[in-house]
Amino acid sequence: MRTNSRSQRGSGVFGTTFGLFVFLLMLLVAVNVIYALYARSMVTNAAFDAARHVAGYTAAGDRDAARAIEDAEFHARIGLGDATRLEWSADDPDVVVVRVIAVTPSLLPRALGDIFGVGATDRRVRVRVERER
């Protein structure tokens, strides 16, 4: 004979709902981490490409370095968006230094994104200019 106690009726609904909520929260965080890692790798790649482009013009002895920087910034903004900022440093003529600051997209709400520091990606890349001697 089977006895059903009224006190245990529906008790699995709370546990299942809570477990589903925790699973979805962990899935959201995992997807956001993967998305942020992809965005950071894109920023790093764009920074290296821009620095290599300018270093190539500099190594070739081209006097139009401003045109090379303009071209590199144009291509970086195509891949990263218009909110991307590129800062060039010309302290050493044998080294091209570029700093790329780009907004990192996030799937988390802004309040949680600020807590986890998902706001922007800041990369500084140094590429040595190889000149023929």
Domain extents in the chain: 11-128
Look at residue 116 in the predicted model and tell me its pLDDT. Answer: 64
Look at residue 49 in the predicted model and tell me its pLDDT. Answer: 92
- pLDDT tier, 62 (very low <50, low <70, confident <90, very high otherwise): low
**pLDDT single digits (tens) 25-48:** 889 888 888 888 888 899 999 999
Look at residue 39 in the predicted model and tell me its pLDDT. Answer: 87
More confident residue, 43 or 12: 43
- Specify whether the CB–CB gap between 129 and 116 falls below 8 A: no
DSSP states of 65-120? HHHHHHHHHHHHHHHH-TT-EEEEE-S-TTEEEEEEEEEPP-SS-HHHHHHHT-SE
Look at residue 105 in the predicted model and tell me its pLDDT. Answer: 78
Average pLDDT of the residues in 97-114: 79
- pLDDT tier, 92 (very low <50, low <70, confident <90, very high otherwise): confident
Prediction pTM value? 0.76
DSSP code, position 20: H
